[in-house]
Amino acid sequence: MSLSTSSFQAGIYLVNTAGRGLRRLGIEPVSLEEDSLLEAACRATGLDDFGGDEFREPLRLILDGLQTEARLTLLGRLAARQDLLGLLTTRLRLAEDRKRYPGIAEQRIERPMFIIGLPRTGTTLLHHLISQDPASRAALTWEVMAPSPPPDDAGYETDPRIDRAERQLRWLDWLAPEFKTIHPLGARLAIECIAILSHSFLSSRFHTTYRLPSYQAWLKKQDMRPAYVYHRRFLEHLQSRTRNNRWVLKAPAHFYAMDSLFAIYPDALVVQTHRDPRTALGSVASLTVSLQSAFAEPLDLPEIGREVVQSWTEGLARALRVRQAGTIPAERFFDVRYHDLVSDPIATIREIYTHFGLPLTAEAELRMRQHLAGNPQHKHGRHAYDLKRFALDGPSLDQSFRSYREFFAIDPEPA
């Protein structure tokens, strides 16, 4: 651990210790009240149109959970306030930009490709590779972090928001240094749709970052179409002043709302990756710990393990019901097995393109090969985790995911 990282961790300890002392005195220096956040967002932007009020109910539930369930440290309260404030200010700016740039509302999102699958099944690899195709367009981290004003082709590679995003990402690296071994970070890297969906405040991201069981239980019962309407508006915003390439998008969380996804994107193409679920869930639980440990104390690891299994069992079951119902034509889906992907990524991508009738050019393939050469697996270290740490075991996981494994003929992997 470097001196700077060591000093940063010591600073975190001091801040949180001070927070515990203030709490014992009945003092809470960081407000997580709805009115305080909304007023701060309006002051920061000079705007007052959030693009609708449908976000208010989920925001209130998130704030209630942060106050009563999340066990936040002082640093956690600071981070949560900044997190939510950032989402609110982006909503204000996007609503204003939609008035200022009439071309945004005229955009059409056609045949977007969505990559879905459990974590650790190759979704990130596929997402990053297909986004190398000049005919494809991924939402990059920097433009989702700071989408206003809409990016344009002329300054796309040199936009000052790129450097600002890199500086912001360093904070996460300091707060959760093991995160990059679980998921790559970078301002110029493609980012998951969960970051876009979060602006609707209808997103499982909040329960992953903070302990919010009541919000998560409520979220599972909601119609997710408003979240995907906002997702589409966000993409319209991003592409309004750039080339209208085909979007390639990714998030495991799409499992929970496949019906809503197709309701808003009726011509969507879906690539679903597959692997023995037991290889994924320990990693998901570890990711949750990595995020929540930076902001909360204490953590209940068996509770996290149980919630991860319940959540992903339900997510896969929902996606499976959509596939089994047959209301979406089978040709709109393409299934990829993890071991086929990692053994020959380019061959797998050729199969995907052929299935969907997309041309794979020599330039696209060359860029994909260059990306593979420059980004070997485990570039940032190997992510190690132990199921037993979360009171999970292979046989019980096999039973939980039995229907999924049988439908897709998923073979067990060695422990």
- Taking the C-alpha atoms of residue 272 and residue 122, their distance in angstroms, rounded to an integer, is 10
* pLDDT surpasses 70 at 11: no
CB count, 10 Å around CB of 24? Answer: 8
Q: What is the β-pairing status of strands 113-116 and 246-250?
A: parallel
Q: Is residue 11 part of a domain?
A: no
Which pLDDT score, from 0 to 100, does residue 7 have?
Answer: 55
Q: Is residue 246 part of a domain?
A: yes
* pLDDT surpasses 70 at 140: yes
Which pLDDT score, from 0 to 100, does residue 3 have?
Answer: 45
pLDDT band at 116 (very low <50, low <70, confident <90, very high): very high
Per-residue burial over 244-268, b if 16 or more Cβ lie within 10 Å, else e, is eebbbbbbbbbbbbbbbbbebbeeb
Q: Is residue 28 part of a domain?
A: no
Q: Which range (211-215, 232-236, 349-353, 376-380) has the least confidence?
A: 376-380
> Which residue matches tokens 């993890």?
338
**How many percent of the chain have pLDDT more than 90?**
72
- Taking the C-alpha atoms of residue 294 and residue 339, their distance in angstroms, rounded to an integer, is 33
Which pLDDT score, from 0 to 100, does residue 303 have?
Answer: 94
The CATH number given to whatever domain includes residue 341 is: 3.40.50.300
Let me know if 362 is exposed, middle or buried by CB neighbors in 10 A (0-12, 13-18, 19+). exposed
Q: Is residue 12 part of a domain?
A: no
Q: Which range (23-27, 68-72, 199-203) has the least confidence?
A: 23-27
Q: Is residue 349 part of a domain?
A: yes
Answer yes or no: are the C-beta atoms of 245 and 135 closer than 8 Å. yes
Residue type, position 130, single letter: I
Over residues 261-279, mean pLDDT:
95
Provide the mean pLDDT of the chain: 90
pLDDT band at 10 (very low <50, low <70, confident <90, very high): low
* pLDDT surpasses 80 at 120: yes
Which pLDDT score, from 0 to 100, does residue 408 have?
Answer: 94
Query: 281 vs 359, which has greater pLDDT?
Result: 359
- What total of structural domains would you count in the chain? 1
Give the per-residue SS3 of 315-370: HHHHHHHHHHHCCCCHHHEEEEEHHHHHHCHHHHHHHHHHHHCCCCCHHHHHHHHH
Name residues whose C-beta falls within 8 Å of residue 143's C-beta, 6 or more positions apart in sequence: 151, 159, 161, 238
Query: 386 vs 359, which has greater pLDDT?
Result: 359
- Taking the C-alpha atoms of residue 199 and residue 20, their distance in angstroms, rounded to an integer, is 31
pLDDT band at 141 (very low <50, low <70, confident <90, very high): very high
The predicted model scores a pTM of 0.91
Query: 134 vs 293, which has greater pLDDT?
Result: 134
Total number of residues shown for the chain: 415
Q: Positive or negative CA dihedral for 180, 162, 205, 129?
A: negative
Which pLDDT score, from 0 to 100, does residue 173 have?
Answer: 73
* pLDDT surpasses 60 at 378: no
Which pLDDT score, from 0 to 100, does residue 380 have?
Answer: 45
- Taking the C-alpha atoms of residue 330 and residue 150, their distance in angstroms, rounded to an integer, is 35
Query: 412 vs 94, which has greater pLDDT?
Result: 94
Over residues 231-259, mean pLDDT:
94
Which pLDDT score, from 0 to 100, does residue 290 have?
Answer: 81
Question: pLDDT of 146-196, one tens digit each?
Answer: 999 999 999 999 999 999 999 998 887 777 666 666 667 899 999 999 999
Q: Is residue 78 part of a domain?
A: no
* pLDDT surpasses 60 at 127: yes
Question: pLDDT of 338-355, one tens digit each?
Answer: 999 999 999 999 999 999
The candidate with the shortest Cα–Cα distance to 254, out of 313, 197, 338, is 197
Q: Is residue 36 part of a domain?
A: no
The alpha carbons of the chain give a radius of gyration, in whole angstroms, of 21
Q: Is residue 37 part of a domain?
A: no
Which pLDDT score, from 0 to 100, does residue 413 have?
Answer: 81
Domain containing 241 equals: 109-408
Describe the crossing of helices 56-68 and 74-100 by its angle, rounded to 10 degrees: 170
The candidate with the shortest Cα–Cα distance to 52, out of 240, 202, 214, 206, is 202
Question: pLDDT of 284-332, one tens digit each?
Answer: 888 888 888 878 888 999 999 999 999 999 999 999 999 999 999 999 9
Which pLDDT score, from 0 to 100, does residue 399 have?
Answer: 86
